[in-house]
Structure 1
């Protein structure tokens, strides 16, 4: 299969390229050329800015295109229209952020999505919905829409998952937020990439949620697995939502994977139903593999990058100190 990948050099796109090559496909990437994939010698690399110049894609033919970096409907429309006669199948990587609130547990693909037409603000989720509709309008039953949750693993530029394996590996007292038994969700980028290629091979169409793991995972179980992988050097100090909020710590980016119960609009953000994806062949690497491989990748890149998420050490120290003080007050 001849596959065109829009993007393909940073995170998900990089792993999709690897998965496509491993499956024996012929790969062409189209991007601005800002990131190198020197190790992928067999990949044809086309350079251009999708928002301005798609001339490199004209008068070419591919079996399928996979769009990993579409965020604005107007820009996606340009690639859709440029490729409508050049490819037989269009895959668009969207997001579960397209859903209009997360007040219901176990939301599936039929849940209400945001809409610019209905007056929703033009932000990440509503713009992704606009992109989805742009693709579907032109490609119809030849369009595949994938809505991932938090994507994690090697080459993740966000640190939203990486923070926990790296912090736990350092040992000592670790500030752990909220209810230890609340569910969390994420998907290893390699699982998502491999499954996406599988769907394209079968010319699958429709909309699919894509997060994991298959069985419910609690924050306690996740942190314990992080600890096990790195030698059980950490001791977790569990803090209530209120304690974390009172310390001025923000959810998700500053305290990754944590959404306080008081955030009702996002309460079940990590309780998405992926039954449809499972039936379509989505499988998962063991959690320990994801943690171990992320740690190893991070160790080889940490000195070159600035952390984009996670609790600063000095702020964690203050949070732990306030927890000790609270405990002393309760025991008087």
Structure 2
């Protein structure tokens, strides 16, 4: 397969390229040429700007395109216009953030309402999806991941948990121990994106892993790392009162009663499963994360979120509790 990858050098895109090359596909990258210039020397590289000049794509013909870097409808229109009929089947990596909201305690599937308007990450992803479907009717797969995790993650979000647990001792654990969480390994998502391109599968899919209790995730982190970590669970209300930031301060933590985001980690993945999504055991993801040492390309692309510092965690754990 002659495959075009839009992006391809940061996190998920890097895994997509590796998966495609491992299957013997011919890969062409288009990006701005600012990151990962030494990665994948065997691939063809085109330089283009999703917000500007995309002439490098004109006249090119591919069997499939995997778009890892489209964030706005304008960017999608530029690439589809430049490629015309040469895009082949298109796999667009969107986000569950494209949904309008996540009511507490309620599962949601791909028919849930999308965010309105043209402002903010989620709304722009929703409009980008619409732009692609208008340009490529019946020839596109829309993939909506939740939190993507594993090696080459530039944000450091999920990494917080395996690396915190490996340090051992008393660990601040957020919310209710049986609170469900979801994430997806970048390797699994990348392999499935290539599957969708190969099979020319069309449709819209929640790209998430199976739900598991937060307690189980932390216990797996402890088992994999063989640490002596012990977990102290603080309620949503307590953490909010202490100004701990949901999702970023303690990753994968969202107050369950939050009217807008309480159910964000309750996505239905049955449609993706039926379309071939397979996910490895969380132990493999955690082991890979702990074994990963960021390279120069990872460091250049890093945009870490402000997770809870060790000092702030210790302060919170030292507070008197009822």
Structures share fold, TM-score greater than 0.5? yes
Choose from 279, 282, 286 the match for 2:281: 286
User: Which secondary structure state, in structure 1, belongs to the residue aligned with residue 61 of structure 2?
Assistant: coil
Give the 3 Å change call, closer, same or farther, for CA 166–12 of structure 1 in structure 2: same
Instruction: Tell me, yes or no, if structure 1 residue 111 matches structure 2 residue 112.
Output: yes
CA drift at 1:160: 1.3
User: Which secondary structure state, in structure 1, belongs to the residue aligned with residue 173 of structure 2?
Assistant: strand
Q: Give CA deviations for 1:10-58 in whole Å, capped at 9, x if unaligned.
A: 1110000011111111000000111125342221111121211112111
Give the structure-1-normalised TM-score. 0.92
Q: State how far apart, in whole Å, the 2-side matches of 1:290 and 1:204 are.
A: 26
Matches within 5 A, 1:105-144: 105-116=106-117, 122-144=119-141
Matches within 5 A, 1:276-315: 276-298=271-293, 307-315=304-312
Alignment partner, residue 250 of structure 2? 255
Alignment partner, residue 5 of structure 1? 5
CA drift at 1:277: 0.5
User: Which secondary structure state, in structure 2, belongs to the residue aligned with residue 318 of structure 1?
Assistant: helix
The 8 Å contact of residues 61 and 86 in structure 2, kept in 1 or not, is answered as: yes
CA drift at 1:298: 4.1
User: Which secondary structure state, in structure 2, belongs to the residue aligned with residue 209 of structure 1?
Assistant: strand
The 8 Å contact of residues 62 and 88 in structure 1, kept in 2 or not, is answered as: yes
Q: State how far apart, in whole Å, the 2-side matches of 1:319 and 1:93 are.
A: 38
User: Which secondary structure state, in structure 1, belongs to the residue aligned with residue 66 of structure 2?
Assistant: strand
Alignment partner, residue 101 of structure 2? 101
Alignment partner, residue 236 of structure 1? 231
Alignment partner, residue 76 of structure 1? 76
Alignment partner, residue 62 of structure 1? 62
Give the 3 Å change call, closer, same or farther, for CA 60–303 of structure 1 in structure 2: closer
CA drift at 1:202: 0.7
CA drift at 1:307: 4.3
Alignment partner, residue 34 of structure 1? 34
List alignment gaps of at least 5 residues for structure 2.
none
Q: State how far apart, in whole Å, the 1-side matches of 2:204 and 2:292 are.
A: 32
CA drift at 1:300: 6.5
The 8 Å contact of residues 206 and 271 in structure 2, kept in 1 or not, is answered as: yes
Alignment partner, residue 170 of structure 1? 167
Q: State how far apart, in whole Å, the 1-side matches of 2:46 and 2:294 are.
A: 31
CA drift at 1:8: 0.3
Q: State how far apart, in whole Å, the 1-side matches of 2:294 and 2:76 are.
A: 36
CA drift at 1:88: 2.1
CA RMSD, 1 decimal: 1.7
Q: State how far apart, in whole Å, the 1-side matches of 2:73 and 2:81 are.
A: 12
CA drift at 1:144: 1.1
Shifted more, 47-56 versus 181-190: the winner is 47-56
The 8 Å contact of residues 50 and 70 in structure 2, kept in 1 or not, is answered as: no
The 8 Å contact of residues 158 and 309 in structure 1, kept in 2 or not, is answered as: no
